[in-house]
Structure 1
Amino acid sequence: MRHIARLLYIIVTVLRYGLDEVALSGFRQPWVRAFVKVVTVGRRLHAPPGQRLREALERLGPIFVKFGQVLSTRRDLLPDDIADELARLQDDVPPFPAAVARQLVERAFNRPIEAIFATFEAEPVASASIAQVHFATLKDGREVAVKVLRPGMLAVIDDDMALLRTLARWIERLSVDGKRLKPREVVAEFDNYLHDELDLVREAANGAQLRRNMEGLGLLLVPEMIWDYCTQTVIVMERMKGVPISQTQRLRDAGVDIPKLARDGVTIFFTQVFRDGFFHADMHPGNIQVSVDPASFGRYIALDFGIVGTLTEVDKDYLAQNFIAFFRRDYKRVAELHIESGWVPPGTRVDELEGAIRAVCEPHFDRPLKDISLGQVLLRLFQTSRRFNVEIQPQLVLLQKTLLNVEGLGRQLDPELDLWNTAKPFLERWMNEQVGWRGLLEGIKKEGPRYVQLLPELPRLLHQALQRPARDDHALLLRMVSQQRRTERLLIALISAMLGVAGGAGLMWWLVRGPAWG
């Protein structure tokens, strides 16, 4: 009954704010216009459509607000007035009362707020769908930002996720594409990310990890977490001072190189994805600032680490090969990768899939970002995937969302940015480091000690595997064989390296001493 009540609430909100009119306003058919007139009878719809859409999403809760945040970055798909209104969802959600925030902070630390902070600003500096932020000063004089979780979030999110799970089951049963799209798995991924956001200690840990990863790059600043004051509902971090990335004119007036800033954004994204396999996955403009401090001028500032994405080594390698093949326009290799990974049925003809991918991607090369809509490209690829029964990979849904965010940011900063040529050198360099001599040496340094320890145990482990029933040991045997092959390759590489060193040393000795017969 609670789920039915929530569904009715959503329907009433949609009608109250005239979202049906917004959704159908682009249709010109007379019967559609007549329907809009009927359903809007008796309602006062004086506010502009964009404002009504924003207010409805705010009223419906955090899941809908996040949907609006993603939409706000796609100005190529939305009218400017609606995009401007949705942009307010990034950091301008109505705050909860300052007295409530104060009570939550005191409850989290179990002491009066004056015992923790020298100053605490009652007015929040930012208010989002999950939490709001207040500036404060610690007793030792450090300026900090205090993030406070909104009260009652867990119950609202649980109700909405229950509705989404029900909807996913219906889609899977009734839609011809249901099983291929894996809606239940996608909803489960989204559920995990939202519940992770409700644990601010996890967010603080994500921020600390991202800070360590980005230290050597010199392009991104991440606030330091004050671990003595981090709990599940309240966290305290270093205060960052920057200009919101959406205020491009202010950045230009400060002397920031906007085209370089756009290129740096692409570099940061691909570094996090392919080097670290750990990326900031909520990169809407409300979470990104730019430093104008002389010591760190022009560097990005990342905020809000509630949603991060992770990729395995297999995912990174597969994605990098796909990207490079796309950038080289090697559509045959893209098709082969889809078949090798099992994303399409094994009987799929490579030439047919190659031709379909070429038709989608070829028109978009050698064009500036202002002339490319990645959303439209993904839509065409989605249509192609239906034809070839491509299975959706839930673990990559978050990456796709982040890629759309990055494209939206790049479009706002520099419409002339060539996304392909900016990313291609980075990916080629990364692949060379992974599969070239440098990759081999790094692999030897990283895995060598483990293989040396494992090598004497291989005969015993293999013997144990052979003694087990066939149905139990098949997977283990495959892993053992794979491990043995990797060990053999490593030993061959080590022996080759040793022979190379020995041969080089012998040659140097011969050159210094001269031929013995001379």
Structure 2
Amino acid sequence: MAVAEPITGILDARSRGRYRDVLAILVRYGLSEMFENLARGRFTPRVSPKTVRDALCELGPAFIKFGQLLSTRDEILSKPFRDELAKLQDETTPFSFAVAQAVIEEELKGTISMLFERIESIPIASGSIGQVHRAWLKDGTEVAVKVQGKGLEELLHCDTAIIQQLILRMKTGGDGDSAARLVSDFMNDVQSELDYELEANNLDRFAWQFEHDSGIRVPRVIRSHSARHVLTTTYEPGTKLADLQGYTPFNKSTAQAFARTLLRQIFCFGFFHGDPHADNVIVSKDGAIGFYDLGLVGELGPPERACVNTLLYSLLQQNAESATASVLALSDSTGSIDAAALREDMRRFLASHRTTHAVVVPRLLADILAITGKYRLILPRGFYLAFKVLATADSVGKNLDPAFDLIPIAMPLLRQNQPAELPQDANAHQDYGIGLGTLLRFQDFSATLLTTFTQLAQGQLKIQLDHLGLEDACRCYDRANARLALVLFVGLLMLGGCGIICSFILAKLLTVRQAVLAVTVLAAVSSIIVALIHRGFRYKNASARQER
């Protein structure tokens, strides 16, 4: 079977031994073809979802992290498997305090008694990569000390290399770009969580974002007691959202505050907690929300944030044109995309949601991910994380308050962050979508011309000529080349212009009305250029005939 092929030429001796162990566990759980299927872009195991989860747990931290990433990818896993892998919350047996003490003293260059007034030997939290101990500094400040397991970084690098090689070597079919992007995202996630200095920077940025918001608590980093494998922050007391049981007015307000905070992170700042499950979030007695474990964060630049905002708003407004335009604007796919078919699928998808009395957020998010997966659209990592976070907000909210509804909380923020002068009523918003769709069609046409230009540059473009006479054929060929060059020039001009205009719309630098005017001017300028060049060709041909 494919996964058993040796990779001894790639991995060192220690990694080859680990590879054999990994393969043995996969075979024992009936998952020997797992990575071959993943490389082909779809994982359809013959075992139960729980079996897959158990196998990943036994394989260790890197595979647990990989399972968590897979749980966010609708285009790879079916819902039962995604739901099961979403339960992988890093719960593992903590390592001994002697190991933690050795790491702390090595990283911080001092003894425990020199660094802390007191530190508790039993961790208050543990995960697959590290654990947290409560402690007090010499000045009495209460802190939380996060310690990474000794030698864990080396093991994770070994396992991530194995996962990378297994998937990339199996790219014999399916969507190779998707497999490569999956591996890249996974490697970035693991690297981010291994380096606690990066997490410290994330905490500082988070604290800056919410420094004037008393409803959000972010632990302060103690830089003097932090290093690559040790992170010390102020201890923020509170109750984990996972420990809140049953409906109470306090739980209801907590659910709303939690959701509102996540929405602001995504749509106002574009920098958000990538894994805000109920064990990573606390609420204080005064209702303030606190976040821990910022090793995994998501980021959306202004154009991407505008696209995601417009996409969600369009979905909730049943606007297929605008939703399609937003998805394609987000996509970084290099292959050919049937935009018309995508728009039709989007209309059917929205029609199916129109028949329900209330929007079911997890289903809405899952369906849009299914559509993007169907067309093999390569979307930014932040897009997947943002959708995962929104699904988490809905799930945690409903656990705290069965009547929780994310839509009324999200709509004001989505409306507020729409492109400038976006009309709010349904008919006008539909016109906005049609306007974006028109620009999209210009881009489709121009992209086709660009493909032709690329084929010409690579020597792959073939022009069939029925030459009845050699001189006529040469003249025909010359005219064909000239006309082809003219068409390609105009196509490239339109492609670049429409791309810039679409970017300006999404970045709020142009309104749709201004964009339509810009496209009209662009088309007029292109027509003038075509007329002038064509006139030059005719004059040249007439002069050549007179000379003959």
TM-score range, shorter chain: 0.5 to 0.7
2:131 partner letter: Q
2:268 to 272, 275, 292: 275
Q: Aligned equivalents of 2:421 and 2:102: distance in 1?
A: 51
Question: CA deviation digits over 1:138-166, x for unaligned, max 9?
Answer: 11111111111111122222222222322
Query: In the alignment, is the contact (CA less than 8 A) between 2:308 and 2:326 conserved in 1?
Result: no
Question: CA deviation digits over 1:383-415, x for unaligned, max 9?
Answer: 433554533434533334333433332342234
Q: Aligned equivalents of 2:270 and 2:20: distance in 1?
A: 41
- The structural deviation recorded for 1:70 is 7.2
Q: Aligned equivalents of 2:509 and 2:157: distance in 1?
A: 52
- The structural deviation recorded for 1:366 is 8.6
- In structure 1, the residue corresponding to 2:287 is in which secondary structure? coil
- In structure 1, the residue corresponding to 2:102 is in which secondary structure? helix
Q: Aligned equivalents of 2:161 and 2:200: distance in 1?
A: 27
Query: In the alignment, is the contact (CA less than 8 A) between 1:102 and 1:113 conserved in 2?
Result: yes
- The structural deviation recorded for 1:271 is 0.8
2:197 to 196, 201, 210: 201
Q: Aligned equivalents of 1:192 and 1:406: distance in 2?
A: 24
Residues 111-510 of structure 1: pairs in structure 2 closer than 5 A? 111-171=110-170, 173-179=171-177, 181=178, 183-249=179-245, 257-292=250-285, 297-340=286-329, 352-364=341-353, 372=360, 374=362, 377-385=364-372, 387-431=374-418
Query: In the alignment, is the contact (CA less than 8 A) between 2:95 and 2:149 conserved in 1?
Result: yes
- The structural deviation recorded for 1:135 is 0.5
Query: In the alignment, is the contact (CA less than 8 A) between 1:90 and 1:287 conserved in 2?
Result: no
Q: Aligned equivalents of 2:403 and 2:20: distance in 1?
A: 46
Q: Aligned equivalents of 1:235 and 1:326: distance in 2?
A: 41
* TM, length-normalised to structure 1: 0.67
* TM, length-normalised to structure 2: 0.64
Q: Does structure 1 residue 95 correspond to structure 2 residue 94?
A: yes
Q: Aligned equivalents of 1:364 and 1:325: distance in 2?
A: 13
Query: In 2 relative to 1, CA 186–196 (structure 1 residues): closer, same or farther, beyond 3 Å?
Result: same
Q: Aligned equivalents of 1:384 and 1:49: distance in 2?
A: 23
Query: In 2 relative to 1, CA 266–240 (structure 1 residues): closer, same or farther, beyond 3 Å?
Result: same
Query: In the alignment, is the contact (CA less than 8 A) between 1:177 and 1:386 conserved in 2?
Result: no
Q: Aligned equivalents of 1:365 and 1:247: distance in 2?
A: 36
Match of 1:441 in 2: none
Q: Aligned equivalents of 1:410 and 1:404: distance in 2?
A: 10
Q: Aligned equivalents of 1:410 and 1:208: distance in 2?
A: 27
Q: Aligned equivalents of 1:235 and 1:417: distance in 2?
A: 35
Query: In the alignment, is the contact (CA less than 8 A) between 1:344 and 1:388 conserved in 2?
Result: no
Query: In 2 relative to 1, CA 119–362 (structure 1 residues): closer, same or farther, beyond 3 Å?
Result: farther
- The structural deviation recorded for 1:110 is 1.6
Query: In the alignment, is the contact (CA less than 8 A) between 1:277 and 1:316 conserved in 2?
Result: yes
Query: In the alignment, is the contact (CA less than 8 A) between 2:361 and 2:406 conserved in 1?
Result: no
Match of 1:64 in 2: 63
Q: Aligned equivalents of 1:432 and 1:482: distance in 2?
A: 15
- In structure 1, the residue corresponding to 2:135 is in which secondary structure? strand
1:287 partner letter: N
Query: In the alignment, is the contact (CA less than 8 A) between 2:255 and 2:401 conserved in 1?
Result: yes
Aligned residue pairs total 407
Q: Aligned equivalents of 1:402 and 1:417: distance in 2?
A: 16
- The structural deviation recorded for 1:378 is 5.0
Query: In the alignment, is the contact (CA less than 8 A) between 1:288 and 1:300 conserved in 2?
Result: yes
Q: Aligned equivalents of 1:390 and 1:91: distance in 2?
A: 30
Query: In the alignment, is the contact (CA less than 8 A) between 1:70 and 1:284 conserved in 2?
Result: no
- The structural deviation recorded for 1:201 is 1.5
2:413 partner letter: F
Query: In the alignment, is the contact (CA less than 8 A) between 2:306 and 2:419 conserved in 1?
Result: no
Question: CA deviation digits over 1:150-196, x for unaligned, max 9?
Answer: 1112222222222232233245x3223333x2x21231122122112
Query: In the alignment, is the contact (CA less than 8 A) between 1:368 and 1:417 conserved in 2?
Result: no
Query: In 2 relative to 1, CA 194–70 (structure 1 residues): closer, same or farther, beyond 3 Å?
Result: closer
Question: CA deviation digits over 1:119-145, x for unaligned, max 9?
Answer: 111111111111111001111111111
- In structure 2, the residue corresponding to 1:100 is in which secondary structure? helix
Q: Aligned equivalents of 1:65 and 1:491: distance in 2?
A: 43
Give the alignment's Cα RMSD to 1 decimal.
Answer: 4.2
Match of 1:447 in 2: none
- The structural deviation recorded for 1:118 is 1.2
Query: In the alignment, is the contact (CA less than 8 A) between 1:368 and 1:415 conserved in 2?
Result: no
Task: Indicate the percent of aligned positions where both proteins have the same amino acid.
Answer: 26
1:104 partner letter: V
- In structure 2, the residue corresponding to 1:232 is in which secondary structure? coil
- In structure 2, the residue corresponding to 1:174 is in which secondary structure? coil
- In structure 1, the residue corresponding to 2:92 is in which secondary structure? coil
- The structural deviation recorded for 1:343 is 5.4
1:145 partner letter: A
- The structural deviation recorded for 1:344 is 6.9
- The structural deviation recorded for 1:352 is 3.6
Q: Aligned equivalents of 1:425 and 1:232: distance in 2?
A: 41
Query: In the alignment, is the contact (CA less than 8 A) between 1:332 and 1:351 conserved in 2?
Result: no
Query: In the alignment, is the contact (CA less than 8 A) between 1:201 and 1:232 conserved in 2?
Result: yes
Q: Aligned equivalents of 2:225 and 2:58: distance in 1?
A: 31
- The structural deviation recorded for 1:198 is 1.3
Q: Aligned equivalents of 1:106 and 1:86: distance in 2?
A: 35
Query: In 2 relative to 1, CA 139–148 (structure 1 residues): closer, same or farther, beyond 3 Å?
Result: same
2:403 partner letter: E
Match of 1:6 in 2: 18
Structure 1 gap ranges (5+):
24-34, 37-47, 437-473, 493-518
- In structure 2, the residue corresponding to 1:409 is in which secondary structure? helix
